Amino acid sequence: MKTSNILLSAAATFVALTGAIPPGAHASDEVSAESLELNKSITRRVYEEGLSQGRFEVPYTTDFVGRGSRATFTHEDGMAEARGWRDAFPDLKVTVDRQVAERDLVAVRWTARGTNTGTGNGIPATGRAVQTSGTTLFRLADGRIAEEWTCADSLGLMRQLGMLAKPAAAPAADGSPSAATR
């Protein structure tokens, strides 16, 4: 074992046994396991209660800011979009695949499944069943969601719904039309 690993191990053992904070660390740097689990349970509700059941009672701060792929949005805008997804996919179920929490942040990997039998968020009813996934990073403050960054597979969703034109076949290497276009 390297000397640095031995020193780190000894320091960690000392902190664990005495509760003392090592030099350079701050009491505010510590987050209890209970606090991390509370933050994870709050963010899980976004998917299990809000998107999956249409019960939008998750606590948000008054100055919440959300960030999507192209723009920032308010809590009101986010709730309107969430209701639009429920309208477009009345059987929508969003599962939390994985959560990781650190300090005031919670990262969530999620998967959404549903059948597009309604209209919402500019999507006409197609009758198609879809599955898509994404990742959201939340920042919480005092038990409320203060910020959100979401990245989802919107292109894949549009393809599954049949809302994108099929790409043209590439020409053959010699410049002649490909077999698909002859």
**Average pLDDT value for residue range 11-30:** 45
Percent pLDDT > 90 in the chain is: 70
179: buried, middle or exposed (CB in 10 Å: 19+, 13-18, 0-12)? exposed
Q: What are the pLDDT digits (tens) for 147-162? A: 999 999 999 999 999 9
Q: Is the separation of the CB atoms in 96 and 131 below 8 Å?
A: no
Instruction: State the Cα–Cα distance between residues 130 and 88, nearest whole angstrom.
Output: 12
Q: How confident is the model at residue 31 (pLDDT cuts 50, 70, 90)?
A: confident
Q: What are the pLDDT digits (tens) for 126-179? A: 999 999 999 999 999 999 999 999 999 999 999 999 998 777 777 777 776 665
Q: At a CB cut-off of 8 Å and minimum separation 6, what does 18 contact?
A: none
Q: Class of 30-160 per CATH?
A: alpha beta
Give the pTM: 0.74
